[in-house]
Amino acid sequence: MEKRELKIDYRVYRNSFPPGYEQLCEKARIAAGKAYCVYSGLAVGAAVLLENGEIVWGNNQENVAYPSGLCAERTALFYASATCPESTVKALAIAACCDGKPRKEFISPCGACRQVMAEIVKRHHRDFDVIMIGEEETICVKASLLLPFDFEF
């Protein structure tokens, strides 16, 4: 048996956003406020900064026939791919709120969203920053590090 270790580098920002990503993070927060989350009460917004400078956003869309809804991250990433397929993703910001108030802790993407991010990295041959916004801490990590053993075929 061989033992291996996996390390993940990420940056932590306290009460601030990563430099240059302030507008992107604010768009994610605005998107969270417009989410349709009548079942869970957890509003999530995501904003995607494309290499062409455009910012697109999305939010979670719940449905009583679970799992027919869609996470904010995939909503935003699929919208970006549909409207600007030639432009690569530079960064993705994720924000969440409960009962109209920003979450104290940052929220991280689900496994399905991580798999979509991994495929976007492979398709465009370019990694991107994922910014997880919390009121006390904001985390910034490369998308490729969120799912180190992603699904491939």
**Residue 128 structural domain:** 12-145
pLDDT of 55 higher than 80: yes
pTM greater than 0.75: yes
Contact (Cβ atoms closer than 8 angstroms) between residue 54 and residue 76:
no
Specify if 32 maps to a domain.
Answer: yes
71 occurs within a structural domain: yes
Per-residue pLDDT tens digits for 60-98: 999 999 888 999 999 999 999 999 999 999 999 999 998
State how many domains the chain has: 1
Query: Residue 15's pLDDT is what?
Result: 87
Catalytic residue among 5, 51, 62, 73: 73
CATH code for position 116: 3.40.140.10
**DSSP code for 12:** E
Q: Is residue 1 part of a domain?
A: no
Q: What percent of the chain has pLDDT over 90?
A: 89
Would 6 be classed as within a structural domain?
Answer: no
Residue 3 within any structural domain of the chain: no
- Average pLDDT, integer, range 32-59: 96
Residue 151 lies inside a defined structural domain of this protein: no
Q: Residue 5 catalytic?
A: no
Residue 93: inside a domain: yes
Residues 6+ apart with CB under 8 A from 29: 45, 95, 97, 102, 133
User: DSSP letter string over 69-123?
Assistant: SB-HHHHHHHHHHHH-TTSPEEEEEEEEEETTEE-SS-----HHHHHHHHHHHHH
